[in-house]
Chains A and B, each alone.
Chain A
Amino acid sequence: MEPGLAVTAYYAAPNLLPPDGDDRIASSASHGFVADVAVVEIDRETAAVSVLDYVTVHDAGRLLNPLLAEGQVRGGLAHGAAAALFERHVYDEDGNLMTGSFLDYLVPTAPDLPTPRIGHRESPTPFLPLGAKGLGEGTTMSVPAAVANAVAAALGRDDVEPPFTPGRVWELLQA
Chain B
Amino acid sequence: MKPAPFAYVRPTTLDEALSTLADGGDDAKLLAGGQSLVPALNMRVLRPAVLVDVNRIPDLDHVERRGDALVVGATARQADPRLRDHPILAAVLPHVGHTVTRNRGTVCGSVAHADAAAELPLALVAARGSAVLASVRGRREISADELFLGPYTTALAPDELLVETIWPIPAEGDAFAFEELAQRGGDYALCMAAAHVSGGELRVVVGSVTASPTILTVDPERPGDSAAEQVEPWGSIHASPAYLRQLVRVLVGRAVGRALEDAA
Report which A residues bind B (CB closer than 8 A).
45-48, 86, 90, 98-99, 101, 103-104, 106, 108-109, 111-112, 165-167, 170-171, 174
Contacts and interface: CB of A to CB of B under 8 A. Distances in A.
B243 A171 contact: yes
B240 A112 contact: no
13 contacts: A45-B246, A47-B243, A48-B181, A86-B183, A106-B183, A106-B184, A106-B187, A109-B186, A165-B183, A167-B238, A167-B239, A167-B240, A170-B240
A45 B250 contact: yes
A171 B241 CA distance: 11
Contacts of A112: 184-185
Interface of B: 43, 98, 181, 183-188, 190, 237-240, 242-243, 246-247, 250-251
Contact of B184 (A99, A108, A167, A174): A108
A99 B251 CA distance: 27
A166 B185 contact: no
Contacts, number: 48
A174 B185 CA distance: 26
B185 A109 contact: yes
Contacts of A166: 181, 183, 190, 239, 243
A99 B237 contact: yes
A46 B250 CA distance: 7
Contacts of A174: 242
A47 to B, nearest CB: 7
A170 B237 contact: no
Contacts of B98: 109
Contacts of B187: 106
A98 B237 contact: yes
B59 to A, nearest CB: 35
A90 B237 contact: yes
Q: Which 4 A-B pairs have the closest CB atoms?
A: A167-B239, A45-B250, A170-B243, A111-B185
Given A45-B246, A86-B184, A170-B243, 14 more contacts: A46-B250, A47-B243, A48-B181, A86-B183, A90-B237, A99-B237, A104-B238, A106-B183, A108-B184, A165-B183, A166-B239, A167-B239, A170-B240, A174-B242
Nearest to B239: A167
